[in-house]
Every structure is written in structure tokens, then in C-alpha cells.
């Protein structure tokens, strides 16, 4: 085996938003396969906000962080090229935590899923709508939000891969779905393509009144991807016994200095609210059920999604920075080959 992998390494902790100077792109010759190992060719790389937490700046993700010189962490959709592991055959497709690189050697412990292609479900969906993003939407909404038909579900970052799935799953359950997104283009995408009942543009100002007008009967479930000031704005608009699944705090990942502290916490008591953060792997025993439901929705057209795809591993840092600045629509991927 004579394989060279192009890798993106974590170089240094960013000061606020990452820059391309915080990454290194290198060529590395991979070792020969040992018994139990196999070679994977990366097809697509998933870029996700949690990666920013692993880069430091006061954040840790699941208690972990990256060290300088380490291959950037990330999920890859790949194909097995060569194998000395009886559990993985040449030609099989899989999703694995192989990092930002074009080729990788694995022993199978980092494999999350063997992908069995299904009619009507594009392969890239297994990094988004039928992957960790879709499962985050499904688990947070159903297990914590627990919406009932006729209730109103509000979703922040609604044009993103998680938020757009939340609203569409809510619609499939008979709920009214309202999104929050930044700018007219994204709001049109949320309503016209993803089928939300309404979308509020946080960039146009007066977000509280926009939400109050769109949700005249109040909000029963708020799926929070943003946190901070936006959460404070929304807490007074929640109905009694409302549920708030907290999937992320996008507004804070690149913040420097003292981070925003939510002020309206008394409303948790006054309204008997349920506010609960979660990680998708807490519901690993339900992943097969969730993925089957998501696959059926995608195949039937009940779950639409957008992808922004950069080409070439060397462009992954710029694509990642663009995603953190909201320049992508839907799922941000990098085509590796």
C-alpha cells in the first residue's frame, strides 16, 4: 500500500473567529495496513459547529479538546478500498470519525454507520438529514420537545441542517412550525422550500414582536440552536409548560471575554418550563429508529434539505469559517474526491 493523504491539522487556538492561519494543510504517507485495519477513501467531509469548541477558547466538547498538530476532528462519508478486517469489505460505504483528510486507516472503532444505499436517499444525506444533524433534530424534538398535534414549534437557525429538519419533522407531526433565520433569502428558503408556516428575520430587528405576531397562541416548544440574547427574547413568549431542547449555542462559540448570561431565568419557575441540553449520542439506542423515520421522510419528499459543498480538502478551512459566519445554506460539506 502506497497511499498519501492530504490532511488539515489544528495549528493553534483561534482568537475569536478562526482564520486560515489556525490550520495547516499537509501531505502524509499512510502506514501499511496491520491485521484488523482497513483503508478508507474519503468522499465527503461534514463541517459542524461543534468543531469550533474543540479548537479551544474556553470551550470543550464532551470534555475534549484538540492539541496542535492533530488532524481536525470530523465525520467522513467514505469507501473501503482495502481491508484486513473481516468486518469491513472493499467497496462498502460508511460514515466514520476519520477527520479532515482524504484517506485514512481505521480499525472500525471510529465507524458510526455502514451506509446501505436506499432509493430516494442521496448518499450525502447520511452526513446531514439522515446523519447526526437529522438525528439531533429528531431526538431533541421528540424526546425533549415532545410536541403534540396543534402545538406551535419555534426553531432558531432554521435555515441550517438541524433547524430545517426540526421544523419539517414538527410539520409531519401536525404542528405549526415557525423559524428564525438571518436575512430575507434564508427566511424565504425556510418557508418556501422547507415548508415552515412562518419565518422571523432576526437581522431586521424587533425579533420579539415578529415572533409574537407569527405565534399568536404562544410557543409550546422552542428548539434552541443559538442561546444567549435570543433565548432571553423568547422565554417571555413561551406558553406555560413549554419545552426547550437546547441543541447548541451558536451565538457564543466565537465570543471572547465574558460570555452572555441569560437573565430571564425566573420564567423557568413562573411558567414551569422545561429547558434541557442534550447530545445526540445520549439517544444512541434510538438511532436506528430515528434514521429509519428520517430516511422515509427524505424519500417521500417530506424532509427537504440544502447542501453547500466546497470542493477540495485544502478549501475546508475557508468553508468552515464561512459556515461559522452563516454564509452556507443548509449542510456544509466538503467534496474530497
Mean pLDDT for each 10-residue chunk of the chain (337 residues)? 94 92 98 97 95 74 75 97 98 98 98 95 97 97 98 96 97 98 96 98 96 98 94 97 92 63 86 95 95 97 96 98 90 94
- The pLDDT score that the predictor gives to residue 258 is 67
What is the gyration radius of the CA atoms in the chain, in angstroms? Answer: 20
What is this structure's pTM?
Answer: 0.90
Looking up cell 429538519, which residue turns up? 165
- The dihedrals phi and psi of 83, each to the nearest 5 degrees, come to -145, 140
CA-closest candidate to residue 126, choices 96, 104, 95? 95
Alpha helices by DSSP H, listed for the chain, are 50-54, 132-139, 161-172, 184-188, 207-214, 228-234, 266-270, 287-300, 316-324
CB 110 within 8 A of CB 96: yes
Alpha helices by DSSP H, listed for 140-282, are 161-172, 184-188, 207-214, 228-234, 266-270
Q: Which residue ranges form the domains of the chain, and what is each CATH number?
A: 4-121+306-335 (3.90.180.10), 132-281 (3.40.50.720)
Q: Starting at the edge strand that comes first in sequence, how are the strands of the sheet with 198-201 ordered?
A: 198-201, 176-181, 152-155, 219-223, 238-246, 274-277
Amino acid at each position: 500500500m502506497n497511499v498519501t493523504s492530504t490532511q488539515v491539522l489544528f495549528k493553534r487556538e483561534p482568537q475569536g473567529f478562526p482564520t486560515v492561519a489556525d490550520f495547516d494543510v499537509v501531505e502524509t504517507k499512510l502506514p501499511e495496513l496491520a491485521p484488523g485495519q482497513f483503508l478508507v477513501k474519503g468522499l465527503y467531509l461534514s463541517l459542524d459547529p461543534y468543531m469550533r469548541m474543540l479548537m479551544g477558547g474556553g470551550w470543550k466538547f464532551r470534555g475534549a479538546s484538540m492539541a496542535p498538530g492533530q488532524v481536525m476532528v470530523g465525520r467522513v462519508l467514505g469507501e473501503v478500498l482495502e481491508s484486513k478486517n473481516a468486518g469491513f469489505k472493499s467497496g462498502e460505504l460508511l460514515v466514520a470519525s476519520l477527520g479532515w483528510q482524504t484517506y485514512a486507516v481505521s480499525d472500525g472503532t471510529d465507524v458510526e454507520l455502514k451506509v446501505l444505499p436506499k432509493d430516494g436517499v442521496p448518499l450525502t444525506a447520511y452526513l446531514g438529514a439522515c446523519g447526526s444533524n437529522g438525528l439531533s433534530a429528531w431526538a431533541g424534538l421528540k424526546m425533549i420537545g415532545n410536541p403534540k398535534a396543534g402545538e406551535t414549534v419555534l426553531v432558531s437557525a432554521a435555515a441550517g441542517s438541524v433547524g430545517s429538519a426540526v421544523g419539517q419533522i414538527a410539520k409531519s407531526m401536525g404542528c405549526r412550525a415557525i423559524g428564525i433565520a438571518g436575512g430575507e433569502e434564508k427566511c424565504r428558503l425556510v418557508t418556501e422550500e422547507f415548508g415552515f408556516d412562518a419565518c422571523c428575520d432576526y437581522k431586521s430587528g424587533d425579533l420579539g414582536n415578529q415572533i409574537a405576531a407569527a405565534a399568536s397562541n404562544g410557543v409550546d416548544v422552542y428548539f434552541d440552536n443559538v442561546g444567549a440574547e435570543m433565548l432571553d427574547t423568547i422565554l417571555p413568549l413561551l406558553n406555560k409548560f413549554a419545552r426547550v431542547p437546547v441543541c447548541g449555542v451558536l451565538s457564543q462559540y466565537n465570543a471572547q471575554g465574558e460570555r452572555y448570561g441569560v437573565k430571564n431565568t425566573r420564567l423557568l419557575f413562573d411558567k414551569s418550563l422545561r429547558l434541557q441540553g442534550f447530545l445526540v449520542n445520549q439517544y444512541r439506542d434510538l438511532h436506528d429508529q430515528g434514521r429509519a423515520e428520517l430516511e422515509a421522510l427524505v424519500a417521500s419528499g417530506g424532509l427537504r434539505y440544502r447542501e453547500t459543498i466546497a470542493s477540495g480538502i485544502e478549501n475546508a478551512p475557508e468553508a468552515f469559517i464561512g459556515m461559522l459566519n452563516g454564509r452556507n445554506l443548509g449542510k456544509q460539506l466538503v467534496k474530497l474526491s
